[in-house]
Every structure is written in C-alpha cells, then in structure tokens.
C-alpha cells in the first residue's frame, strides 16, 4: 500500500474527522511509513494530538498581477479576460483587486504591452515535523485570506510517494474540500447519526460520486440519534466500515489532547480493524475499477 492516499472528509464540522485522521495515522505508523497532512488550513488541529516536533516552516504564496504604468495603454484586454473581476479599467487607469484574484495568469499572458508582471503575495504557511515516527505537515491560511485551495494544494505537495498518506480535509463540500479530495485513492466520510449529519452526508456522497473516488463511511457517536444514516447507507449501497459509540473516554482523551488509540487497547484494535477494512475495500475497488458498482448511485 505504499503511496496510498486517504482523505478523511465530512459534510459538516464537528463529526470527528481529526479524531479519525490522527488515530488512524498513529496505528498505521507503528507498522508502516505514514505521512499525516492537515489540510484543514483555516483551523488545523491535528498537531494538538500528535505534538509534532516542527523542523521547518515555509511561506505559501500566490501570483497576482502588478501594473507597470509606463507600459500600460489601458487597452482593457486584461479586464476582458479576467473571469473574476479582479482587474478593471477606469478612466485610462488599470485597478487590481488582489482579494478577488485567483492567480490564473490570464491577464499578464494576454497583455499585448507586457504591462502586467507577476507579484508574489503571501497567503499562508506550511510547517513540517515528526511525531512518534509519523511524518507530519500542516498548513495555515493567513487571517483575512480566501485562497484556501492554494494552501491545501501546497500541503498536498508534501506527500511522500513511499508513505501511506492521510489527509485531514476541511469540513463541507465546497472548493477547499474538492481540492483535498482530488487525487485521493480513497475517501473516508465521517458522519454522525443526526438529521444534520445525514443531510450533510448526502451532499458529501454526491460530491465523491461526481469525482469518481472510492469511498466508505464511518459513523461517529453511533449510539446517539437514530438509524436514518445507516438506512441511507444501506439504500445507497455505501459500506459503513466502523461505528464508534458515544463514549466518555473519547471525550476525555480529546479534551486532554490525547489519542484514544494510545489510551485504550480496544480503540487501538478498532482503528487497526478500520485500516484493514480500508485496505480490503480499496483493493477490491482497484480490481473492479476506480469505483465499485456497489458504490454508484442505485
């Protein structure tokens, strides 16, 4: 399974993504090389449980246009090709709005006068480290910035092809999550048996199906709520690989910044069994194709 890429995702926040990502990485790391990437760059918290030793930090930048006034003729081509209204021409003056720019580069590529040049704008940072044999990388989006996918993409570049890679994705189903899920070999959707959990799980399932990624579900706090999440998964032919009860010991471990798999042998076995189930299902899906027929919408 070298180079195997798992993304831990959810339709909503607070379902336990980080609990699954960190504990899964911990049990895998005892036997195999593993990299944990925290791609929840607006609020990364895997480090709170792994306590990594950070060895390096790198700034994340994006390219934005800068006008060279002496070359600019205010022809307006740059504004015409910008799909995000990040450049406008007013009274023979070109105005750039960096907060709207998506760094596509169309403006400076199409400028006939070479009056636009690339300028590097810092939007965040990544930090690299190790924790109990786990290679660890997390990203931070600068306050006020909106280019979340760019920082996630930079975090993903830190993957080691020789390692099993676990990526803790942002919650939801918007562009940052799509960036996190893209290129994954397998997605574990973490949900909870509540009306909100079911609603957002449906959105997440639609997303991964549209992307053609192999996936399964983990039900956290399975002893609360009702059976509607399980019934939905049965109707949609979606495998549930693990159900974790609403256990006070997990809450206590979480509040102390501890891994439940290291505090309780039963939970260590649970996450080992989850890893075994992921490998088995991924192997089957690889044999059958990129996504098995039973995971397609009925």
Domains of the chain by residue range: 5-33+160-295, 61-122
- Between CA 59 and CA 47, with CA 9 as vertex, the angle to 5 degrees is 45
Count Cβ atoms below 10 Å from residue 57 Cβ, excluding itself: 11
DSSP E strands in the chain: the ranges are 5-9, 34-38, 53-67, 87-90, 93-96, 116-131, 134-141, 164-168, 186-191, 215-220, 240-244
Could you give the CA distance from residue 19 to residue 251 in angstroms, rounded to a whole number? 10
Instruction: Assess whether pLDDT exceeds 80 at residue 288.
Output: no
CATH no. for 61-122: 3.30.70.20
On whether the 5-33+160-295 domain is CATH 3.40.50.2300, my answer is no
Q: Is 152:126 a contact under the CB 8 Å cutoff?
A: no
pLDDT for residue 190: 98
**Placement of tokens 């810092």 in the chain:** 122
User: Whole-prediction pTM value?
Assistant: 0.91
- Residues 87-105 have pLDDT tens digits of 999 988 999 999 899 999 9
Q: Per-residue pLDDT averaged across 1-24, rounded?
A: 93
Element containing residue 136 per DSSP (H, E)? strand 134-141
If we measure between CA atoms, which residue out of 290, 270, 276 comes closest to residue 16? 270
Residue-level length of the chain:
298
Q: Residue 48: is its pLDDT beyond 90?
A: yes
In sequence order, which residues have a C-beta less than 8 Å from that of residue 113 and are 6 or more positions away? 71, 72, 73, 75
For the stretch 232-245, pLDDT in tens is 999 999 999 999 99
Residue 292's pLDDT is 46
- The phi and psi torsions of 158 (rounded to 5 degrees) equal -85, 5
**If DSSP codes are grouped into helix, strand and coil, which group holds residue 156?**
helix
Could you read off the pLDDT of 117-150 as tens digits, one per residue? 999 999 999 999 999 889 999 999 999 998 999 9
The pLDDT-based confidence of 298 (bands split at 50, 70, 90) is low
Fold matches, 5-33+160-295 and 61-122: no
């Amino acid at each position: 399974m070298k180079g195997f890429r798992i993304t831990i995702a959810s339709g909503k926040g607070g379902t336990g993504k980080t609990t699954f990502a960190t504990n899964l990485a911990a049990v895998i790391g005892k036997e195999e090389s593993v990299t944990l990437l925290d791609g929840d760059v607006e609020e990364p918290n895997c480090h709170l449980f792994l306590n990594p030793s950070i060895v390096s930090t790198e700034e994340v930048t994006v390219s934005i246009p800068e006008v060279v006034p002496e070359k600019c003729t205010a022809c307006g081509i740059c504004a015409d090709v910008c799909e995000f209204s990040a450049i406008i021409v007013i009274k023979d003056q070109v105005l750039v709005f960096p907060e709207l720019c998506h760094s596509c580069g169309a403006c400076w590529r199409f400028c006939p006068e070479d009056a636009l040049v690339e300028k590097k704008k810092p939007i965040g940072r990544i930090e690299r480290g190790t924790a109990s044999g786990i290679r660890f990388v997390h990203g931070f989006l600068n306050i006020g910035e909106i280019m979340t996918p760019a920082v996630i993409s930079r975090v993903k570049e830190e993957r080691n092809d020789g390692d099993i890679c676990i990526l803790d994705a942002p919650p939801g189903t918007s562009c940052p999550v799509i960036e996190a899920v893209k290129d994954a070999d397998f997605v574990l959707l973490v949900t909870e048996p509540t009306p909100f959990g079911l609603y957002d799980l449906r959105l997440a399932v639609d997303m991964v199906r549209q992307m053609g990624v192999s996936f399964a579900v983990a039900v956290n706090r399975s002893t609360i709520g009702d059976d509607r999440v399980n019934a939905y998964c049965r109707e949609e032919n979606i495998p549930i690989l693990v159900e974790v009860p609403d256990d006070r010991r997990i809450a206590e471990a979480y509040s102390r910044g501890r891994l439940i798999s290291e505090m309780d042998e039963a939970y260590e076995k649970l996450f080992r069994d989850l890893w075994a189930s992921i490998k088995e299902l991924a192997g089957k899906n690889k044999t059958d194709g990129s996504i098995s027929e039973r995971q397609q919408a009925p």
